[in-house]
Amino acid sequence: AQTIHQWPVAEIKAVGSPLSLGCTIKGKSSPNLYWYWQATGGTLQQLFYSITVGQVESVVQLNLSASRPKDDQFILSTEKLLLSHSGFYLCAWSLEQGSNERLFFGHGTKLSVL
Residues making contact with other proteins (CB under 8 A): 32, 41-46, 49, 51, 57, 59, 90, 92, 97-100, 102-108
Shortest distance (Å) from residue 80 CB to other proteins: 26
Q: Which is nearer to other proteins, 2 or 17 (CB)?
A: 2
Q: Which is nearer to other proteins, 15 or 59 (CB)?
A: 59
Shortest distance (Å) from residue 51 CB to other proteins: 7
Q: Which is nearer to other proteins, 81 or 91 (CB)?
A: 91
Handedness of CA 87, 91, 94, 97 (dihedral sign): positive
Which residues lie below 8 Å from residue 49, measured CB to CB, with a gap of 6+? 32, 33, 34, 35, 56, 57, 59
Q: Which is nearer to other proteins, 26 or 79 (CB)?
A: 26
Shortest distance (Å) from residue 15 CB to other proteins: 25
Angle at 42 between CA 64 and CA 90, to 5 degrees: 45
Shortest distance (Å) from residue 49 CB to other proteins: 5
